[in-house]
Amino acid sequence: MVKPLLQLLLTVGWTFLGVILIYGGLLLFDRLSPIDYRSEIRKGNTAAGLVLGAVILAIAAVVVAVLTS
């Protein structure tokens, strides 16, 4: 009974850490980038949305690779 509960807590903890790392990477990208992608997306700029989506996927791929190794 203890092992499944511990596994669930570990899964939730690592998931929470992954989300925090992805969010931190996105904040870092926003600070380092000269373009305000969020305002461009609000204006309807599709290219800015694609760039931001690609950045999120790239950061998530790196976080997953780090957390699984």
Per-residue pLDDT tens over the stretch 2-49: 698 999 999 999 999 999 999 999 999 999 999 999 999 999 999 999
Q: What is the pTM of this model?
A: 0.82
The enclosing H or E element of 1 equals none
Transcribe 2-17 into DSSP letters: HHHHHHHHHHHHHHHH
Domain coordinates in residue numbering, the chain: 2-68
Q: What is the pLDDT of residue 47?
A: 97
- Helices of type H across 33-45: 37-42
Q: What is the pLDDT of residue 68?
A: 86
Q: Which of 68, 64, 58 is nearest to 28 (CA)?
A: 58
Residue 37's CB: how many other CB atoms inside 10 A? 19
